[in-house]
Amino acid sequence: MEKGKNRGKLLAQNRKARHDYFIEESFEAGIVLQGTEVKSMRAAKANLKDSYARVENGELMLYNMHISPYNFASHFNHDPLRKRKLLMHKKEIGKLAGYVQEKGYTLIPLSAYLSRGKVKLELALVKGKKNYDKRHTIAEKDAKREIERAFKDKQYN
């Protein structure tokens, strides 16, 4: 997804994904929801942790995304962990299927947000990080923070 692209209200975010994976490329996908799921999503009652997408029979499916049941729906509620269909162009799905068949690539949702009244998902093509990669990323962040702190102190003196 391009930087600065206008997105609406952020509904859910997978913060751990940026720590656990190298993000190669990101895409925007629509998501097929049942009636009460939309109301729960608008109330930000969704969790993207441990969720992933897979290409099946030429369709993109999302697994393990937890959308809490809507409180005021009584018996019309949905299964919180059901698999959901993602909407993308056929050409893009084919491209993703090719990447996922390569060793080490996975499709992970980074965030869910509202765009013009519709729930959208930011889907990323990722490669897993090893433990030493994670430690390296943390060390870089700490060094950057220390440099910024030093500049800040220098400005005030």
CATH number at residue 83: 2.40.280.10
| Residues of the domain holding 124 | 10-129
Query: Which H helix or E strand runs over 151?
Result: helix 131-156
Q: How many domains does the chain have?
A: 1
In a domain, 156, yes or no: no
Q: How confident is the model at residue 3 (pLDDT cuts 50, 70, 90)?
A: very low
In a domain, 87, yes or no: yes
Find out whether 41 and 33 touch, Cβ atoms under 8 Å.
yes
In a domain, 24, yes or no: yes
Report how far residue 107's alpha carbon sits from residue 65's, in angstroms, rounded to the nearest whole number: 13
Q: How confident is the model at residue 2 (pLDDT cuts 50, 70, 90)?
A: very low
In a domain, 2, yes or no: no
Q: How confident is the model at residue 157 (pLDDT cuts 50, 70, 90)?
A: low
In a domain, 154, yes or no: no
- Residue 53 above 70 pLDDT? yes
Q: pTM here?
A: 0.70
Report how far residue 146's alpha carbon sits from residue 140's, in angstroms, rounded to the nearest whole number: 10
Find out whether 20 and 40 touch, Cβ atoms under 8 Å.
no
